[in-house]
Amino acid sequence: DTGVSQDPRHKITKRGQNVTFRCDPISEHNRLYWYRQTLGQGPEFLTYFQNEAQLEKSRLLSDRFSAERPKGSFSTLEIQRTEQGDSAMYLCASSSGASSSWEQYFGPGTRLTVT
């Protein structure tokens, strides 16, 4: 399967714990995005990487959130001191800068439940 993969698919954690999610984009896609989606809403942009550089962060991304993309391949999103309001689906997407349509390919998401 050459699509975007995310791990884990589901995560249940207690409030105050730290969690880390991983995203493996389509190989050779230099652009990688993280979004968060809650029930009944569209995905909300969190952050964007071009290769290994994090070029944009949403104001939604508090200082408890950090994302990395070492070597411009896979990316990780860490949430520290989780809160119940962090419960959501975390989606990763990648795109090729060479594509004229800039279409984004989404992974299956990681569903986070904070109890």
Partner 1 sequence: GQQVMQIPQYQHVQEGEDFTTYCNSSTTLSNIQWYKQRPGGHPVFLIQLVKSGEVKKQKRLTFQFGEAKKNSSLHITATQTTDVGTYFCAPRSSNTGKLIFGQGTTLQVKP
Q: Give the footprint of partner 1 on this chain (CB under 8 A).
A: 31, 33, 35, 40-45, 48, 50, 55-56, 91, 93, 95, 101-109
Which residue's CB is nearer to partner 1, number 34 or number 82?
34
Asked if 34 and 23 touch (Cβ cutoff 8 Å), the reply is yes
Closest distance to partner 1 from the beta carbon of 60 (Å) = 12
Closest distance to partner 1 from the beta carbon of 14 (Å) = 25
Closest distance to partner 1 from the beta carbon of 49 (Å) = 10
Coarse DSSP helix, strand, coil percentages of the chain, rounded to the nearest 5 percent: 5, 50, 45
Q: How many CB atoms lie under 10 A from the CB of residue 97?
A: 10
Which residue's CB is nearer to partner 1, number 31 or number 79?
31
Which residue's CB is nearer to partner 1, number 77 or number 93?
93
b vs e for 27-57, b when ≥16 Cβ sit within 10 Å of the residue's Cβ?
A: eebbbbbbbbbeeeeebeebbbbeeeeeeee
